[in-house]
Amino acid sequence: MIALEGVSYSYSPAPPPWILKDIHLHVFPGEYVALFGASGSGKSTLAYLLNGLIPHFFDGRLEGKATVCGIDVAVAAPGCLLPQVGLVLQNTDAHLFSGTVRAELAFGLENLGVGRREMESRIGEICRRLPLQHLLDRSPHELSGGEKQLVAIASVLCLGPRVLILDEPFAHLDPPNRNRIRKILRSIHKTGTTLIVAEHLTDAYLRDVSRVVVLDGGSIRYDGAPDTCLPHLKAAGIVPDYSPMPSPVPPDAGEIVLETQDVGFRFSQKAVLEHVSFELRRGERVAILGPNGAGKTTLVQILGGLVTPTHGQVLYRGQPVHGRPAHRIASQIGISFQNPNDQFFKPRVEDEVLAGVRLLGAKGLGPPQAWVEAVCDLFEITPLWQRSPYRLSEGEKKRVALASIAAMGPGVLIWDEPTAGQDGRFRRHLARLMGQLSERGTATLVVTHDLAFAQATCTRWLHLEKGRITRDTSLPVTDLHTPRFPQ
């Protein structure tokens, strides 16, 4: 089914660096393989190779031989692999381009010449199983990150490929939707489909896989059974080992730095947020949890002054946020988006990270140089300094995006899914950074589905469901270890 013999690959025509190094891998028909590796280890690159994007779409140098479904990847055009291999990209915005979800799901089927009746049957079945019926007439670009993830997965599932490759499929999903995808993958595997899931999450789906492959620095360090993989995952930095959480800010202690007062937002006559009110105090570390489509990302955009609420207001240190100059808001409230590609606009990582710092410096609002250097060291981005942010792995992109906001030293940091696509080593570093930020008085608001990270870092959890805050509880509380999500 899949045979890689001595495969090495570099995005540069004149390597080094080699992203894949002398890979020997055979995947047999009907196997279910979990592919692990730290950020930048080559997981996504291997996925691109298996569906023909490498070497036909990406420039670079490929050595060795790669065969998928009997097709030589280096010789055949990617279109030859379309009926055989389905790939769900890690970056859903690069995957979705149609005007509606319905058109997105139909696009691949139309290109394969599938008849209208069969097409409608396949789309209907997948939409019932995920479920996506209520999203069919909406634009994919209006959806939440988790909803986009579901649509991207559905668009490939509709094709019924012999080999299905998913790059970080669980990253932006809440627990119920992760479970839905797990059940669907399990049922697809039972039909004989070969599955390869590239992930950082060591979740319940590992009980279903038949084999685990761990990449480390572009080479295979482990290839074997799931029940003996844990030591290798820890050694490769996949599984986080969190340090004890710093002492929490006592309730009602410290200055209120951010406050929402009865905030609501409507889009196309639909209520996205309703009567959202809470306070964030100096040095607090707060997690916002909730199902996909609950309004979390919309709330983040309102908090940062990017979207104006339909009613209510947001206050920073007692003053309204909306109506202030953009540079003034940026010096006070920093936002790192869920998709780092939405944040980039510079050709080099150095320029991207320092853009905000330089702008604030010109306005007399810049942070100390020592803080900027400490952030760059902590996020381990100095080795990426001269590279294009657009050519990094998705995990590396996330690190650069987070660092560019943290470097400006705002009083409030808002991170939307900061651990999505990140390995355990980085999650541990990020937890430590949050502790350091708290000690210097920075308040951090984290939107996340990563419950282990939230439990290890945040002293308070806000639960957002159907646009409303349904619970606001300080930790530790035993019943918050497994928060409720609507099924």
215, 46 contact by CB (below 8 A): yes
Which of 235, 267, 288 is the C-terminal boundary of a domain?
A: 235
Q: Above 80 in pLDDT, residue 257?
A: yes
pLDDT at 415: 92
Helix (H) or strand (E) holding 460: strand 460-465
Please indicate, yes or no, if residue 240 is contained in any of the structural domains: no
Please indicate, yes or no, if residue 245 is contained in any of the structural domains: no
Distance of CA 147 to the CA centre of its chain: 12
> Do 183 and 34 reside in the same domain of the chain?
yes
Please indicate, yes or no, if residue 250 is contained in any of the structural domains: no
> Do 231 and 260 reside in the same domain of the chain?
no
> Do 260 and 231 reside in the same domain of the chain?
no
Q: What is the domain range of residue 434?
A: 256-480
pLDDT at 119: 95
Please indicate, yes or no, if residue 370 is contained in any of the structural domains: yes
Average pLDDT value for the chain: 89
Please indicate, yes or no, if residue 401 is contained in any of the structural domains: yes
pLDDT at 355: 94
> Do 26 and 162 reside in the same domain of the chain?
yes
pTM of the model: 0.80
- CB-based burial, 413-450: b 16+ in 10 Å, e otherwise: bbbbbbbbbbbbbbbbbbbebbbebbeeebbbbbbbbb
> Do 25 and 155 reside in the same domain of the chain?
yes
The residue-averaged pLDDT of 43-56 equals: 94
Q: How many domains does the chain have?
A: 2
The residue-averaged pLDDT of 428-451 equals: 89
154-174 pLDDT tens trace: 999 999 899 999 998 888 888
pLDDT at 374: 86
80, 231 contact by CB (below 8 A): no
Rounded distance, CA 148 to CA 393, Å? 19
> Do 213 and 324 reside in the same domain of the chain?
no
> Do 193 and 278 reside in the same domain of the chain?
no
Q: Above 50 in pLDDT, residue 483?
A: no
> Do 17 and 72 reside in the same domain of the chain?
yes
> Do 223 and 304 reside in the same domain of the chain?
no
> Do 289 and 360 reside in the same domain of the chain?
yes
pLDDT at 467: 95
> Do 87 and 139 reside in the same domain of the chain?
yes
Q: Cβ neighbours of residue 272 under 8 Å, at least 6 residues apart?
A: 265, 266, 295, 298, 467
pLDDT at 253: 61
Other Cβ atoms less than 10 A from the Cβ of 3: the count is 15
Which of 185, 201, 235 is the C-terminal boundary of a domain?
A: 235
